[in-house]
Amino acid sequence: MNCEEINLWLDTLLAEIEEIEVTRKSERRVRVDVPASSLPALLELLKGKASYVHLSAISCVDWPDDEEFELVYHCWSYEAKSLLSAHTRIPRNSAQEFAHYVSVYDIYKPAAFFERDIYEMYGIYFESSPYMEKFILTEWNGPPPMRKDFDAEQYVNDTFNWADYHPQWLQELEEDGGGIAVRPEDIRL
């Protein structure tokens, strides 16, 4: 199959899935918005029938105002030479400890790494993903740090001390009425 055939085939495939929204951003970038329930089916079709065999990444975006997490699956086809980003949204479930979603490990093996990463950083539990344990943040006991409601700066100021730096030259300047005009904590934008 050449590129155009695959692209045509892709369009017919995508038409089969309900509530799907396809945007062609450029020659080699396709954006697809699907409801969370039909995403695994879409990926299955993409890999099995449209040659999108390479899962480049799974990105997660936190939207606390909408009470939602956005999951983006970036799939690459070596034959059609195009990158398809499948966007989906799942509820944030701030009342429960974890938001839940299904793993796509049985379709794409690389998903295991990204799902574990998202589980650690955002606290989204992927059912039937093989390694749902701590990997990078083994020494971390706090909330999932990448969530928008975790204030890293506050945490750092509460936990760590800073070294004093008040050398002779600065003291002399201050005696003459000078000094650091704007303190670092005031330069916030």
Partner 1 sequence: MRPENYQLVALPNSDEYELFIGPNHPGIEGNYAFKLKLDGDRVISGKADAGYLHRGFEKLMEGRLWIQNLAIVPRICVPDPVPMEVVYSLTVEDIEKMEVPLRGQWIRVMQLELSRIASHLFTFGGHAATTGMYTPSYWGVADRDLALDLFEELTGGRVYHIYNIPGGVRRDIPNGFLDRLSDYLDYLETRQNDYDNLLFTNQVFVKRARNVGVINQEQALEWGVTGPNLRATGLAFDVRRDDPYLIYNELDFEIPTQTAGDCLARILVRRDELFQSVRILRQIIKHLPSVKGPVRAPIPNPLAWNVSMGESYCRVESSKGELAYYTVSDGGPKPYRVHVRGASSMHAVQVLENMAVGQRIEDIAQIMFSLDACPPEVDR
Partner 2 sequence: MSKIGNIPVNAQAGKKRTNPLAGVFDELVQFCQSRSMFMLHYCTGCGAIELPPAMTSRFDMERLGIQPMVTPRQADILLVTGYVSVKTLKRVILTYEQMQSPKYVIGICSCTVNGGMYWQSYATAKVLNEYLPVDVYIAGCMPRPEAVIEGMRRLMRNIEEGKGHAWKDYFQRYDYYLGNQQHLFGDDWQTPTDIIGEARHYGLETEQTYGEHTRILEQHQQPLEPHKMRIKF
Judged by CB under 8 A, does residue 8 bind partner 1? no
Angle at 114 between CA 112 and CA 118, to 5 degrees: 115
74 is a contact residue toward partner 1 (CB under 8 A): yes
> 111 near 105, Cβ under 8 Å?
yes
Q: Between residues 9 and 150, which has the closer beta carbon with respect to partner 2?
A: 150
Q: Rule CB under 8 A: is residue 169 a binding residue for partner 2?
A: no
Does residue 97 touch partner 1 according to CB under 8 A?
no
For CA atoms 116, 117, 118, 119, the dihedral sign is positive
Which class for 46: exposed (0-12), middle (13-18), buried (19 or more C-beta within 10 A)? buried
Return the residue of 4, 65, 163, 180 that touches partner 2, per CB under 8 A.
163
CB-wise, 163 or 189, nearer to partner 1? 189
What string of H, E and C letters represents the secondary structure of 81-111?
CEEEEEEEEEECCCCCCCEEEECCCCCCCCH
85/129 Cα distance (integer angstroms):
21
| CB 176, min distance to partner 2, A | 26
- CB of 175 vs partner 1, minimal distance in Å: 32
CB of 135 to partner 1, least distance (A): 6
What does the binding site for partner 1 look like in residue numbers (CB under 8 A)?
Answer: 28-29, 53-57, 59-62, 72, 74, 76, 78, 81, 83, 85, 108-110, 112-113, 121, 135-139, 145-146, 152-153, 189
